[in-house]
Structure 1
Amino acid sequence: MIDQLGTPDGVTLDVRQWPVAEPRAVIQVVHGMAEHVGRYDEFAQAMNAEGFAVVGHDQRGHGATAGSAAERGFIAEREGWPLLVDDVDLVARAISREYPDAPIILLGHSMGTVVARAAVQEQDHFAALICSGAVADPGPARRAGLAMAHAQIRLKGPRHRSMTLHRLSFGGYNKAVEHPRTAFDWLSRDHASVDAYVADEACGWIATAGFYRDLFVGLGRVNDPARIRLIARDLPVLFISGDADPVGGRFGGGVAAAARAMRRRLDHVDVRLYAQARHELFHELNREEIFSDVLRWCDAVL
């Protein structure tokens, strides 16, 4: 059983596994920003019931990999982005050793879709890619955010918790929610799921300036057409998003743009939008429908 993996630079990745005997495939989860892989338990159990094993790690600066509240929201002093992508490779290699006959389907959520898209540009472990709540490249806003992150790092260091960048990145997400109860209602229409997120001390933290630097660098790289051309042409890709997800853009506009960019290179890119659903599809009111759709798509591409 995979439970921890040591990285070349000395970080211990905490790994969560939902195993089945002789799986049809393994779904490797790359979670989103300000959460942890333990939140995918309901999704993983639904996949287990249909013969899929699920494995995921807490990314650097998250969950048990961070190790303490002080380390949450911080990746590295410098050049943190490549480390996140290399960690996906490390976990995939461990999965291949444990399940040598099972194909790996890479699934990223939110920020995890950026890491996952970078991984399929650089690595050849994966039979398919699923992007949930994909983050689009905001273009000029990303470049302005990167400049601000660098300025804050120069003034206050990479561990400075940036309320300014937090407000610029997340501050407007709740505006589309009528009468929000919490600061995180943009995540889901399911009040219980939102309340569980709010109550989880490992979720919803303020990230560091260094974290935002690394995220903005990654967003720029992964959307570069030259890097998209590195992906294997026959890799099947599925984008799923709520059409009320502020991260993916109004009515899924940003998700559609990301899919169009990949269709210029790839032969099999699907997009599915869910009416009125918000950012966290696996915690949404209609999550059972979404689990079923993911399973049917995996069956089809396998």
Structure 2
Amino acid sequence: MKESFFTRTSDGQDLHTVIWRSDQSSIKGSIQLCHGMAEHIGRYEKIAHMLNQEGYHVFGHDCRGHGLTGENQGTFGDYGVNADFNRLSKDVIEVKNRCWDQRGNLFLLGHSMGSFIVRRVIQKYSYQYTGVILSGSNGPLGLIGVPATILAAVMSAVKPAEKAELLNRLSFGSYNQSFPDSKTPFDWLSSDENEVQKYIDDPMCGFVTTNRFYKVLFNGIQMIYNQKEINHIRSDLPILFVSGKDDPVGDFGKGIFKSAKIYSDAGVKSVVVHMYEHGRHEMLNETNFLQVTGDIVNWIKRVEG
């Protein structure tokens, strides 16, 4: 059963929220979703139904500036004037407090931008979750991190609500170059042409975000790699990375293994990487979707013991 409503946050914003309730006789727990950039929570219906069949309720929200939250705000691709990764992570917790029925375990799954937000969540609230799944994530920004962050800050200071065409090209312009047979600008998302077309046809996907959005995003990514903040993650929090080896966002696997090592070096005891050959950015929309979701479910079951 699917239910949708708006969650009022502590700073007065309304976040479009969806719960997919399992109809299984025995409920094992819940899985909270955090979607990626320039998309929305409705794109996760397929995996939600799969997890429902396994006995899990599934819920999540449209992030500020996205989906029906963004439509309600009147702005796509802008987190808003006062938002930062601390506020976005608090949104996740406030949606959790509204939706979780306290039965069983609670897992948190974030994709791409959502994975970065989730990584801030576990720096602040790791004791509230049984385990975390990070899909389509990446490693540190490296040498480009500081100039990218400065450029976003400058452009945000001048024209905060303007569409960030330059930053968008610098961030995503090269992604399709690794796929010479590309038919669309978004072939880097998935090797499943039908899924790519669904994304293109969706009016709530593929928009260009604002300069202010990039400022918040780049500052947030710098934040999640701050060693003092990483050390706040509880050591017994199980973490699963799910990524395609052909994902340019994850630097074709290299960024994922860097992130996994950072957590392991910080003392997190269980960090697992599932890297899929020929998989692109959206492993939850890839041709081997059933394999990927099966691996996620099996990992959850192992965590639960």
**What is the TM-score normalised by the length of structure 2?**
0.95
1:131 corresponds to which residue?
A: 134
1:122 corresponds to which residue?
A: 124
Q: After superposition, where does 1:257-276 map in structure 2 within 5 Å? A: 257-264=258-265, 265-276=267-278
2:149 corresponds to which residue?
A: 146
| Cα displacement (A) at 1:215 | 0.3
Of residues 199, 216, 219, the one that matches 1:217 is 219
Residue 161 of structure 2 corresponds to residue 155 of structure 1: no
Q: Deviations over 1:196-239 (max 9, x none)?
A: 00010100000100000000011001111111110111000000
| Cα displacement (A) at 1:68 | 5.4
Is the contact made by 1:246 and 1:279 (CA closer than 8 Å) also made in structure 2? yes
Q: Deviations over 1:124-150 (max 9, x none)?
A: 210000001113221231221211112
1:255 corresponds to which residue?
A: 256
Which sections of structure 2, spanning at least 5 residues, go unmatched?
Answer: none
| Cα displacement (A) at 1:70 | 4.9
Is the contact made by 1:111 and 1:135 (CA closer than 8 Å) also made in structure 2? no
1:9 corresponds to which residue?
A: 11
- 2:66 maps to a residue whose letter is H
Is the contact made by 2:19 and 2:99 (CA closer than 8 Å) also made in structure 1? no
Structure 1: 4+ residue segments shifted above 6 A: none
- 1:192 maps to a residue whose letter is N
2:59 corresponds to which residue?
A: 55
1:297 corresponds to which residue?
A: 299
What is the number of residues matched between the two proteins?
298
- Distance in 1 (CA, whole Å) between partners of 2:167 and 2:73 is 19
- Distance in 1 (CA, whole Å) between partners of 2:156 and 2:297 is 43
1:81 corresponds to which residue?
A: 85
Is the contact made by 2:242 and 2:273 (CA closer than 8 Å) also made in structure 1? yes
Residue 42 of structure 2 corresponds to residue 38 of structure 1: yes
> Aligned-residue CA RMSD in angstroms?
1.3
Is the contact made by 1:78 and 1:210 (CA closer than 8 Å) also made in structure 2? no
- Distance in 2 (CA, whole Å) between partners of 1:173 and 1:146 is 20
| Cα displacement (A) at 1:3 | 2.4
| Cα displacement (A) at 1:154 | 2.4
- Per mean C-alpha deviation after superposition, the further-off stretch among 166-175 and 13-22 is 13-22
| Cα displacement (A) at 1:155 | 2.1
| Cα displacement (A) at 1:25 | 1.5
- Distance in 2 (CA, whole Å) between partners of 1:298 and 1:109 is 17
Q: What SS class does the counterpart of residue 118 from structure 2 fall into?
A: helix
| Cα displacement (A) at 1:80 | 2.6
| Cα displacement (A) at 1:281 | 0.5
Which sections of structure 1, spanning at least 5 residues, go unmatched?
Answer: none
Q: Deviations over 1:41-77 (max 9, x none)?
A: 1111111111111101000010001125951110122
Cα 1:37–1:79 change in 2 (3 A) is closer
Q: What SS class does the counterpart of residue 18 from structure 2 fall into?
A: strand
Cα 1:7–1:69 change in 2 (3 A) is closer
- 1:164 maps to a residue whose letter is L
Q: What SS class does the counterpart of residue 71 from structure 1 fall into?
A: coil
Is the contact made by 2:84 and 2:220 (CA closer than 8 Å) also made in structure 1? no
Is the contact made by 1:239 and 1:271 (CA closer than 8 Å) also made in structure 2? yes
Q: Deviations over 1:5-45 (max 9, x none)?
A: 10122110111111025520211000000000100011111
Q: What SS class does the counterpart of residue 180 from structure 2 fall into?
A: coil
Of residues 284, 287, 298, the one that matches 2:289 is 287
